[in-house]
Structure 1
């Protein structure tokens, strides 16, 4: 697969992490500055964000990874080229012990309604199927069923989780994420803030790993990455696997 990846800051770190992924994929870098000695094709532009997204939508690359390009600029361009009002990202995470699962929502402005959560379940199951992962889905809430009445916000998360679980054939696992990951390949957080906190706690404090977050509601394969990432090869492998699945399926 031909994968494009953006580089703004930390070029050396990104380049070093691409070695393993480049053995089975063609890599093109989209950068704001030249990178002396790079073994990869490179597109240098002051507007590297648009060059990356445009290359993706013009079919010059099979999939794209944000890398270290500024998130806000890239996300605005994806909305423009993808003709969508919002972006739905689903993170592929791995615990310290090696358990992998998909988590959504992970953007703080995502997943605040029942309808959005239902959409995330559908998108996550498609990604799980493409990656050969367990599609069993857990819906989390802000407390146990016995906590109803302790706080209106907690009550609403429980009511929402019960409704979403029933409507999607999922399991309401209450607040017990530690149990949910044992036999569920998909975890739906109560909202984008809690999902983002789960992501950051696992990947940045808990010794786990983040493999990238595909944007699920686009017609092209785009994998978002955290600015705190140290290894971008997994995001390239993820983008490549999804692009390969899409080509074989469609």
Structure 2
């Protein structure tokens, strides 16, 4: 994405920023969570490791909030680009995108300083603010208010509402658009952005519910996977749905070779991208 043909576009600048956030968060919400799930780790069984990871977990919540804010910014960018391209150039053109990305950065710092940590529970395979979740003798409705994070709840609810409204407005406008507009590259990029944001929305809903209401473990696991998917799925979405990025990655890895075939008395050699050479 740092190549000129990508980074000159505002949406790829936002996606690149989102990729940094995803890469940072996936180490804790996927790798550490997977290790704890396999080992069945609780605070009582390994207090030192649980405490250390718990200290870093404040950063995980901050990164999650940053991801939500960046996804919203990406959704606004895609909608403006498809519906009002001139306004989009004004808002996101030049260095404006970098200035706008300061907003999720400040959002990260705010959550980093003012939210409590979360503790992974191998009993439910997810992270909770309440360290006594699932332990007998501790009633959820009594203990939860002591550990709940209002900021996290507000962020998740706002994330779902704002993303839903943004994409609903776009879909309503595109439904009235000519069929030729619905297949443009802008709309293809919109589909990629919508898929990325849908993981965030689904994880937001479940993670709010399971913090306050007794939730079946299967639903909690779905929420945890959605959270992990919100940080891990974008790379696969780009590779499968974005032809330009896929070609660039294959070329970078040296997989996309020249393809040579013989037609009649001439040999046609196709270059890695679009150039075609005719050799007699």
TM bucket normalised to smaller: under 0.3
Please say which structure displays the higher CA radius of gyration. 2
TM-score of the superposition, structure 1-length normalised?
A: 0.26
- Between structures 1 and 2, the one with greater helix share: 2
| Higher RCO (CA-CA < 8 Å; seq separation 6+) | 1
More strand by share: 1
Instruction: Tell me the TM-score normalised to structure 2 length.
Output: 0.24
